[in-house]
Structure 1
Amino acid sequence: MQNAEFIRDFVEEALSHVEDFESGLLKMGDQKDTEIVNGIFRNVHSVKGTASFFNLKNIVSLSHTMENLLGEIRNGKLDIDRELVDILLSANDCLKGMITDVEGSGSVDISAHVAKLTEKLESNARKYAPQNDHKNVHKNAPQNNHKKIKKVEEQQPLVVGGIIEEALGRGQRAYIINIAAAGDQAGIIDRVKAIGQIVAAYDQDGQEKDFTSKEVFRIVITTVLEESLLPLALEISEDMVEEIFDASGLRETEPASPPAVVSPDPVERPEMNGAVPSEQPMDTAPPSPQAEDGDQQAKKNPLMAVDETIRVHITLLNDLLDLASEMVLGRNQLLRILDAHRKDIAGINSVLQNIDGITTELQEKIMQTRMQPVAKVFNKFPRIIRELSKKMGKEISLQIEGADVELDKSIIEALGDPLTHLVRNAVDHGIEAPDVREAGGKTRTGNIDLRAYHEGGHVNIDITDDGMGIDTEIIKTKALEKGIINLSEIPMMGEREFLELLFRPGFSTAEKITDVSGRGVGMDVVKTNIEKLGGTMEIMTTPGRKTTFRLTLPLTLAIISSLVVEVEGQKFALPQVNLQGLIRIKPGDYTRKIENIKGSDVLRHRGKLLPVIHLAEVLGREKRDFNTESIIRVLVIKSGSKLFGLVVDTIHDGEEILVKPLPRFLNDCHCYSGVTIMGDGRTAMILDPEGIISRAGLRFMDEMRDIASKEALASDYSLTESQNLLLFKCSGPETLGIDLSMVARVEKIHSSQIETIGNREYIQFRGEAVRIIRPENYLPISHSANSCERLYVIIPKLVEGQVGILIEKIIDTMEAEIKFNKEDMKARGLVGSAILDNRIVLFINMYELFEMAEPKKASAPAEIKETSASKTVLLAEDTPFFIKMEKKYLESAGYKVLAAPNGKEAWKLLQENNVDAVVSDIEMPIMDGYELVRKIRADQRLANLPVIAVTSRADKPSVQRGMEAGFDFYEVKLDRERLLEKLEMALEKRGDAV
């Protein structure tokens, strides 16, 4: 084959067309949709047009026959049904196979597909044929291909313009071909007809001309070929081709006399034997409103029709990513080396910040070029579901959500097989037969939901079916039969552990083997492949109702943010997306003692028992004693839905790292997912949480969870939330605190990085100027003229504008239940004080602090006061810290606030008081927020009361559950501006009905 580069472009474009054809056809089903029919018609036409240029006869022949059939559907002469869809899908599969192997396409037998398509055409033609014989209707049709060009009427330039506008709107291109007098005019015309449609032709004087004339003339054509391919196809020089970007461009080139329009040749109906007739006009359907809008826009700016994208080979993108990764590594090393010399080298700070910002932005942009929507994988499943449901006699509806969620190209490419296996498994094992479903009170049609969504820096993909669910008793029985587990292990296993037996090699609950599933191979491979991508997999099921397989995947595999930790002098990198928190256990702190329950080390954490292991033990070091006199540092790590504690010796800074694959001799070390080079030039292994769980043999037993639940419920008020706190000092001796949920990050800076403009101080952060505020300048705390060179800036969340809090020392991060002192310090900018670790801690009200520093911005809540002055809000919250914060937020906006420590007390206050709105926490003792809002909605008197959830749980399932329960809005705690905004919206929405 010649023109290898053009062939590659053709294959890439044609494969896109056949994939769009399939998805469009499946989307339409057996109900005609004009837009979709036009779209898939254009897909086939484009494949045929370009294939004819390369003389790919089988591809042209099959696509042409498909095009004829679709033409009948478009014209309303052929009804679409399931059988017709099957025929077209089968033909499209054959077309796809030939495009994939272009060189071998000529030897493919397409006769069966052509015959089926032809049979449909002929049977349909007989319906519309008159009673007389039409066999010789074209017997006397003229054979001369070079017809005389008739002079057009006055209105025909508008007709020509309309044809071109319509073609451009369909994605075709239009050209003027200047044919020289000495050229092979007849040959060129033949070649033009093979690749497109002749719209008009005229000589330089606008006179009537014959195609066989020896004089110079110009022809106007439409085609799917790009400008670079057209000269090759017509065997003419590039300067003979002029592209038309819109119809007005054509009229500007028209002579005084109107052009001539080519009279169409009488076209005989093809003999349906696979031969390809001359090109016919592609589309006569009126353009859609969207196309008309596009045409109008093109008239205003003809250059808009020019392509704004170019094709770049994936190897080039891979090389760019590798170079960007190396640049990130070099940046880290440069910052590490020069950190100690910032003060000695004038101007080095701004240079380093610039390098840091540009490197980060460059890396992010290059990563974006590799991101692709999961639709590239999802789009094949309508076809798979259709074929399997037909084969197995089931009725199944597929719902796809989040197809536009993007992942790295390498992850997208590796997802196809695992997802296919899970979908086939849902069809075979999950969805019941229609009669069985009906007998069980379900609809005959089963549902499979394929959903992708972002959560916590990952992308989750859920495959959910509303079928029979998974019975763990059956799993237990099968596992015992196969010897996978023994009786002694069963008491130590919970539901999660039984479900994970499905991932064991050779395990299957199927009673019989089919060609769809049941052999016990595949599920273990699916899990292995997902883990190779740095992801996790888990199963959630309700017997008799539904099953969900959840894949949790990283956005990219190349560069990740990590926390550097150390054990016995060796550094390791932990991906930050897995890190949920840090716990420091000090000697003598019996509230956080690591205990041993049923042979497992656990830590009581937020009402649950957290399994704890020491990284040194997992790596084969000697067993550690947790009851030591030194500080114990515990990383709270999440892998899928599993939460566990990992003890390390030292915690270092966070760092962006370049992920490199493990050396071959470490492939069996499942605790690691890769290796990286740190900023100091040393190598560090990247920890794999799932591998650590497996290596340590951690069990997440239901029994342990039950113990934790019973202990938590021993007191009605035991569900009071703990806060993750950051304790720090400014220039004075006071210890200050802030909730970590309000902190985006803590940036370490040198005092020389601070720039003063007027009476304000700024630093450069990620290429932007950030104002920094010293709390001691506004709060009633001590101020000392220290000259610390090493400082820290707290970059807050939930605050508009670029602003940070300047501090001198980080004391600790800790989790604690705050009990405010009754005799609190009354001062603006402070929430209150509490005793933690035998020290008095003053808690900052961040919003008030910023308002004190920026008085002009403090007027925002005042705008609401006029409408809120007479309003009463009931605040249901069990945690004293949040009660105090949220009450201040509401009162600062002019609301009168009633507070209740749980849902039961809130319900009582609702019966006794006139309340205009409710702001409620979710997790509360006695009665939680879900139950409270359900009672409100069920009460006729209160049903229209505005209710807003304010919680620390903002994952999508929790939000969905909250909205279904009856909340008007679902907001994150401590975001004052959104709380006040949503409260005002809720009052406007429901206030009149209360």
Structure 2
Amino acid sequence: MDTNQYMEMFLEESKDHLQSLNERLLDLERDPADSSAINEIFRSAHTLKGMSATMGFTAIAELTHDMENVLDLIRNDKLKADEDIVDVLFKCIDALQQMVDNVSDGDPENSVEVKDLVDRLNAIATGNQQPAAPKAAESAGKKADNETIVPPTDIELSDIDLDLINSAKDSGLRAMQVKVILADTCVLKTVRSYMVMSALDEIGDVIKSIPPTEDLEQEKFDLEFELILLTGEEEQKVESILMNISEIKKVIIKLINVPAPVKKNISVEKKASVPAAVKKNAPAVKKQAIQHHDNMKSGQSVRVGIERLDSLMNLVGELVINKTRLEQIGNTHRIAELVETVEQMDRVTGDLQSIVMKVRMVTVGQVFNRFPRVVRDLAKELNKEVNLTIEGEDTELDRTVIDEIGDPLVHLIRNSMDHGIEHPDDREAKGKSRVGKVGLIARHEGNNVIIMVTDDGAGIDANIIRNKAIEKGVITQEDGDNMTDAEAVRLIFLPGFSTSDVITDVSGRGVGMDVVRTTIEALGGVIDVETKKNEGSIFKIKLPLTLAIIQALLVDVQEEIYAIPLAAIDSTINITPEDIKTIQNKETIVIRGEIIPIVRLDRALNVVSAEDKEDEEIYVVVVHVGDKKCGIMVDKLIGQQEIVIKTLGKLLSGIKVISGATVLGNGQIALILDVAILMQ
């Protein structure tokens, strides 16, 4: 079999199962008696094993098989999921993740060394396994390898089921209880169950299934299910038909005998096929299975590569640009019909843009769900007790932002746990709970998403930060004396700054917080920190919903047009040269009693400027990044416009003041200003 066509599906499904294994194993660690958790873990491991075996990745299949041996003992209450066993299982999951990553990168899956893990799993399994009680001969069938096959048990039948069975018997049909056992390597169990339903539909009707159809559709069953079939065929024929379906390991059939019904005035048309009464009332199981198959064919959801979504977004962007161009032509030449058409086109492109944006949106839960495991492992490494709470995991962000935000959040979580949360004994001495709290919170705020990492630890001592910065030569003593505590705390975001005297695997290498700030600002966001000594810290990240199409204010500087993102603008004002005051060699203005530094955009961009006119009004765009404000002096204000962000490419990527470019309606290029860099 050519498995290459299934590779993408295998990698995606493996990722989902590994994430499920991580999450549910954490649940099991918290509550070793959680039967639903162990069942989900077993099911995910079993499915991953089957998928891997089908794809030919034997190393993954063998490791998951050895995990199954231990999980089965836990599931059957023959083994307790203590700390040592959970640690081994977590290491197995890490090894499996590395194997899947190797497959994704085109490397051999078996390059990961797992012999020690396999030996430990086997030792756990053989050291605790108890011999199973023998099954009665009449209640069990045997396979060649002595595996016990349990025959169908009696199924509780409703009055409707009994009426259907008796009606069928009156027509000379048989009622059979069919138990289907899938092969251990079965990958798509739902598809196999549908194939069974379809095959039986050719020779009769299925009136009941155990588990219910909904569970079969959602693959909420292990490797076996049972059906009630009404048919005119012999048992051997039914068994033969089903055994011809691939990945069916065993079919066991038992005839159903029910008491004769009380005579009713029911007319039943006798014929060789299934009676009309049975056909009419028939099984929702079969209908739902067919509906499920139709859905599978038409596709209720489709996996689409991010490259295709990017291409679609680019096309929508071009449409927005040309719409603006048509709007300009219509207004310039006063073509009423064109203006009316463009207005309608504006509504359509707006709806199309909104749909494309939503398609690109994914929940931050895809990033957040990795952190329970991170916190668990780091707490053990640091010998601390930490409880992680997550809020707002359903908050949506652009896929591009989601892909980039993971690493900064890892840095912030590690920082909170290493620098923030104290050792349990120290917390107890302060009158705190021994268990520290770390929080991950996400929420929408206008056209932005706010993500916060909180902790109830020691907080950040502004004096320690200030003194360390002076010691390292980052700031002067005079600068330190003039700094507020809030400004001093923000020094942690400077490159190479660290307060740790000891280098560890967790922190103290002088990297991390500056990387966080750089990454966040590259995404068009800002980061800030609030802290109180002995109460904790809050790192607050503000990110744009999308990076593709934004609202911007167009400004003119020396006959060149520039775009300032509207989300960064506080207000626009007109001033005169007399309003500009110089404080500590910096030009400033006063707005409503607040002193705000100003930046002359022509000087910042090194463009030739005309001589200043003393009586001429000056346009100032007041922008903000976090709590900091700045006024940007420009020649003219053109107006607000929706723009499509285009990257500058590798050749111009080093220009810090410019974050991108856009094409205006008249075909002219406008550069997009990086407000955060201008304010530095």
Same-fold status (TM-score > 0.5): yes
Cα pair distance change 1:158/1:341, threshold 3 Å: farther
Whole-Å Cα distance in 2 between the matches of residues 551 and 494 of structure 1?
21
| Counterpart amino acid of residue 11 in structure 1 | L
Q: Which residue of 1 aligns with 2:92?
A: 91
What's 2:172 paired with? none
CA distance in 2, matches of 1:352, 1:607: 45
- Residue 116 in 1 paired to residue 120 in 2? yes
Q: Which residue in the other structure is 1:314 paired with? A: 306
Matched, 1:105 2:105: no
Using the TM superposition, give the Cα deviation of residue 619 of structure 1 relative to its aligned residue in structure 2, in angstroms: 2.3
Give a deviation string over 1:874-897, Cα, whole Å, max 9, x none.
xxxxxxxxxxxxxxxxxxxxxxxx
Which residue number in structure 2 is paired with residue 608 of structure 1?
A: 594
For residue 657 of structure 1, what is the amino acid of its counterpart? I
Instruction: In structure 2, give the amino acid aligned to 1:10.
Output: F
Partner of 2:210: none
Whole-angstrom CA distance in 2 between matches of 1:433 and 1:172: 52
Decide whether aligned partners of structure 1 residues 203 and 64 sit closer, same or farther in structure 2, where only a CA change above 3 A counts: farther
**How far, CA to CA, are the matches of 1:445 and 1:571 in structure 2?**
55
Which residue number in structure 1 is paired with residue 26 of structure 2? 26
Give the whole-Å Cα distance in 1 for the aligned partners of 2:304 and 2:556. 42
Q: Secondary structure at the match of 1:209?
A: helix
What is residue 337 of structure 1 aligned with on the other side?
Answer: 329
- Segments of 5+ residues of structure 2 without an aligned counterpart are 136-140, 158-174, 201-221, 249-271, 276-282
User: In the alignment, which of 333, 336, 350 is matched to residue 340 of structure 2?
Assistant: 350
Q: Residues 256, 599 of structure 1: CA spacing in aligned structure 2 closer, same or farther, 3 A cutoff?
A: same
Map residues 677-692 of structure 1 onto 2, 5 A cutoff. Answer: 677-692=663-678
Change in 2 beyond 3 A, CA 1:161/1:587:
farther
Higher relative contact order (CA 8 A, sep 6+): 2
Q: Which residue of 2 aligns with 1:662?
A: 648
Instruction: Call closer, same or farther: CA 1:41–1:158 in 2, change over 3 Å.
Output: farther
TM-score (normalizing by structure 1): 0.54
Q: Is the 8 A contact 1:595 1:601 kept in 2?
A: yes
Kept in 2: contact 1:25–1:85 (CA 8 A): yes
Residue 630 (structure 2) pairs with residue 644 (structure 1): yes
Alignment partners' CA distance in 2, 1:154 and 1:473: 73
Structure 2 residue matching 1:501: 3-state secondary structure: helix
Q: Is the 8 A contact 1:418 1:526 kept in 2?
A: yes
Give distance in 1, aligned partners of 2:154 and 2:419: 68
The CA deviation string for residues 627-664 of structure 1, in whole angstroms up to 9 with x for no partner, is: 94233322221212222222222111211111112254
Superposition map of 1:958-973 within 5 A: none
Aligned to 1:71: 72
User: How much does 1:158 deviate?
Assistant: 8.1
Q: d(CA) in 2 for partners of 1:6 and 1:169?
A: 12
- Computed over aligned residues only, the root mean square deviation of the Cα atoms, in angstroms, reads 4.0
Match of 2:529 in 1: 539
Counterpart check, 1:359 vs 2:349: yes
Distance between the aligned counterparts of 1:49 and 1:57, measured in 2?
Answer: 10
Structure 2 counterpart of 1:936: none
| Alignment of 1:39 onto 2:44 | no
Q: 1:41-77: CA deviations, max 9, x gaps?
A: 3222221222232233222222233234333333344
State the match for 1:206 in structure 2. 233
Aligned to 1:218: 241
The structure-2 alpha-carbon separation of the partners of 1:297 and 1:555, relative to structure 1 and needing over 3 Å to count, comes to: farther
Equivalent pair of 1:571/1:684 in contact (CA under 8 Å): yes
Q: Which residue does the alignment assign to 2:679?
A: 693
- Which residue of structure 2 aligns with residue 632 of structure 1? 618
Length, aligned pairs only: 594
Task: Tell me: CA distance 1:118–1:150, structure 2 relative to 1, closer, same or farther (3 Å).
Answer: closer
Asked if the contact 2:643/2:663 (under 8 Å) is kept, the reply is yes
In the alignment, is the contact (CA less than 8 A) between 2:470 and 2:480 conserved in 1?
no
Q: Secondary structure at the match of 1:582?
A: strand
Q: Could you tell me which amino acid in structure 2 is paired with residue 15 of structure 1? A: K
1:524 matched to which residue of 2? Answer: 514
Question: CA shift at 1:455, angstroms?
Answer: 1.8
C-alpha separation in 1, matches of 2:619 and 2:554: 13
Q: Which residue of 1 aligns with 2:291?
A: 303
The question of whether the paired residues in 1 share the 8 Å contact of 2:563 and 2:671 is answered with: yes
Offset of 1:11 from its aligned partner? 1.6
- Distance in 2 separating the partners of 1:412 and 1:618: 32
Shift of 1:546: 1.3
Q: Kindly indicate whether residue 7 of structure 2 is the aligned counterpart of residue 3 of structure 1.
A: no
More helix by share: 2
Give 1:89 deviation, angstroms: 1.3
Code of the aligned partner of 1:639? V
CA 1:110–1:146 in structure 2 vs 1: closer, same or farther (change >3 Å)? closer
C-alpha distance in 2 between matches for 1:429 and 1:148: 56
Q: Residues 106, 470 of structure 1: CA spacing in aligned structure 2 closer, same or farther, 3 A cutoff?
A: closer
User: What is the CA deviation profile of residues 544-599 of structure 1, one whole-angstrom value per residue up to 9, with x for unaligned ones?
Assistant: 221222222111211111111112221110111112222234799xxxx4444444
C-alpha deviation, 1:4, in angstroms: 0.9
Q: CA deviation at 1:121?
A: 2.9
Tell me, yes or no, if the aligned pair for 1:201 and 1:220 is still in contact at 8 Å: no
Contact map agreement 1:333 1:678 (CA 8 A) in 2: yes
Asked if the contact 1:201–1:218 (Cα under 8 Å) also holds between the matched residues in 2, the reply is no
- Would you say the 8 A contact 2:39–2:75 is kept in 1? yes
What is the CA–CA distance in structure 2 between the aligned matches of 1:479 and 1:578, rounded to whole Å? 29
Picking from 479, 490, 493, the partner of 1:489 is: 479
Q: How far does residue 393 in structure 1 lie from its aligned partner after superposition? A: 0.8
**Could you tell me which amino acid in structure 1 is paired with residue 314 of structure 2?**
D
Q: 1:490 to 1:299 in 2, by over 3 A?
A: same
Q: 1:334 to 1:393 in 2, by over 3 A?
A: same
Letter of the structure 1 residue corresponding to residue 125 of structure 2: L
The change in CA–CA distance for 1:114 and 1:600 in structure 2 (over 3 A counts) is same
CA distance in 1, matches of 2:151, 2:363: 51
SS at match of 2:389: strand
> Percent identical across equivalent pairs?
35
Contact kept? 2:436, 2:455, Cα under 8 Å: yes
8 Å CA contact retained: 1:373, 1:403: yes
**Cα gap change, 1:526 to 1:507, in 2 (>3 Å):** same
Indicate conservation of the 8 Å contact 2:179/2:224, yes or no.
Answer: no
Report what 1:912 is aligned to: none
The CA deviation at 1:476 is: 2.0
- Corresponding residue number in structure 2 for 1:728: none
* 1:51 and 2:52 matched: yes
The residue that corresponds to 2:402 in the other structure is 412
Equivalent pair of 2:152/2:178 in contact (CA under 8 Å): no
SS of the aligned residue for 2:453 comes to strand
Are the counterparts in 1 of residues 179 and 227 from structure 2 also a CA contact under 8 Å?
no
Alpha-carbon distance in 1 for matches of 2:386, 2:356: 40
| Cα distance in structure 2, aligned partners of 1:462 and 1:539 | 9
Query: Aligned in 2, Cα 1:557/1:71: closer, same or farther, shift over 3 Å?
Result: same
**Match among 474, 479, 502 for residue 464 of structure 2:** 474
Residue type at the aligned position of 2:461: D
- Identify if the C-alpha distance between structure 1 residues 340 and 315 changes in structure 2 by more than 3 Å, giving closer, same or farther: same
Q: How is 1:773-852 mapped onto 2 (pairs within 5 angstroms)?
A: none
The whole-number CA distance in structure 2 between the counterparts of 1:143 and 1:169 is: 25
**Which residue pairs with 1:957 in the alignment?**
none
Gaps of 5+ in 1: 135-139, 180-194, 222-229, 235-253, 258-294, 695-994
Shift of 1:27: 3.6
Q: Distance in 1 between matches of 2:439 and 2:191?
A: 37
Distance in 1 between the 2:75 and 2:492 partners? 49
Distance 2:41 2:422 in 1: 34
Q: Distance in 1 between matches of 2:151 and 2:383?
A: 60
Provide, for residues 722-749 of structure 1, a one-character-per-residue CA deviation record: whole Å limited to 9, x for no partner: xxxxxxxxxxxxxxxxxxxxxxxxxxxx
Contact 1:564–1:651 (8 Å) recurs in 2: yes
Contact 1:372-1:409 at 8 Å conserved across structures: yes
- 1:620 maps onto 2:606 in alignment: yes
* Structure 2 CA distance for aligned equivalents of residues 101 and 68 of structure 1: 25
